[in-house]
Amino acid sequence: MPFLQPKVTPLPPGIDLTGKSAVVTGASAGLGLETARQLLTLNLTTLILAVRNESKGATCIKNLLQDPAIKSKKPTIKVLKLDVNDNNCITTFSKTLPQTLPTLDILILNAGISRLKHNPSPSGHEESVQVNYLSNALLLAELLPYLNASAEKTGSPTRITWLGSRMHQTMTSFPKKSPLDTCDSVLEYMDGGDTVSPLYRYADSKVLCAMFMYSLAPRLDASKIMLNMVCPGMVDTAISDFLPIYWRLPVNLVKAVRARSVEAGGWLIVNAAVVAGPESHGRFLEDKEVLEVSKYIRSEAGKNVQEKLWEETMDELKKLTTLPREFE
């Protein structure tokens, strides 16, 4: 990838989301909040901010409704608590959402973290594995019957856009150190404190996400659910604030030269969620372009890891929920 990112063009004119509903996870700041804002400017009727901090979410609603581009549209905006580092909270959210919204048109899986330090989640898994991968898999498993039913009621596919990272192609440890060569389990490899280098942890978690999408999409009825994954590139958000100062300074310097604005990043997410056509189902979008499956994932070793990951993930999810038929 070139150092300078290609210019991002705005969304095409004429998008009208009147009568549509959307859920954005991790919507209290950064790309999640900007994506929510852009959807509302496109006449979205109902928006759910799925956030960990409900008080912060309430402040976001107040600010959104004061935005001149949104205020006159008078949308309905609500907050639902969703802590993606808490399986019980995910289950509660999944039961509450259908009671709050009869149907859902757009689901944007934005919530995620990037960490250098190995940190166990309350679930017992490494935190980035839990937050970036397993929580989204659980959320999809629990919501899938509702999403299918929504499509049947509205007559249009429910659209799911999951934020990924193109780093899963270039910055992963998997091709160099196959999980199945070093551990009996893919998740065991990812959970280990000394098996994954801190520099690879984020990208490796995004490999899991991409593999899961590639496994799940063919099992879905595309006339009811359209699933894609998008990378908005390097965006000027606070995601690097967790870094120690000796890393944060050079990263922030690179961001100052290279990063896209949050608005431009939001254009790419909204493009994947409402503009991209059926050709994007089960595919990874780099900016607005559909990419070929990464060289590693389509290799024999990658296929083996993807198959094993699906089996292990289903075993994990069975402990937490009843799997829909697409997951069996």
Task: Provide the pLDDT for residue 3.
Answer: 67
Q: What is the pLDDT of residue 117?
A: 82
pLDDT in tens, 229-288: 999 987 777 655 555 555 555 656 656 666 788 999 999 999 999 999 999 999 999 999
| pLDDT category of residue 115 using cuts at 50, 70 and 90 | confident
Beta strands in the chain (DSSP E): 21-25, 46-51, 76-81, 106-109, 158-163, 225-231, 284-286, 289-291
Is residue 57 over pLDDT 70? yes
Render pLDDT for 70-81 as a digit per residue (tens, 0 to 9): 999 999 999 999
The sheet carrying 46-51 orders its strands as 76-81, 46-51, 21-25, 106-109, 158-163, 225-231, 284-286, 289-291
- Residue 175's pLDDT is 93
Please give the domain boundaries of the chain with CATH numbers for all domains.
21-317 (3.40.50.720)
In the three-class reduction of DSSP (H, G, I as helix; E, B as strand; rest coil), residue 229 is classed as strand
The pLDDT, as a whole number, for residue 114 is 83
Write down the pLDDT at residue 198: 79
Tell which wins on pLDDT, 147 or 252. Answer: 147
pLDDT of residue 303: 97
Angle at 182 between CA 179 and CA 183, to 5 degrees: 75
- Count the helix, strand and coil residues of the chain and give each as a percent rounded to the nearest 5: 50, 15, 35
Per-residue 3-state assignment (H helix, E strand, C coil) for 63-80? HHHHCHHHHCCCCEEEEE
The question of whether 200 is a catalytic residue gets the answer no
The per-residue pLDDT for range 155-205, each reduced to its tens digit, is: 999 999 999 999 899 999 999 988 999 899 999 999 987 888 878 999 999
For residue 297, is pLDDT > 80?
yes
Catalytic residue among 133, 146, 202, 214: 202
Of 247, 269, 238, the closest CA to residue 42 belongs to 269
**What pLDDT does residue 1 have?**
56
Give yes or no: 318 in active site: no
- Of residues 22 and 115, the one with the higher pLDDT is 22
Query: Which of 20, 133, 146, 206 is an active site residue?
Result: 206
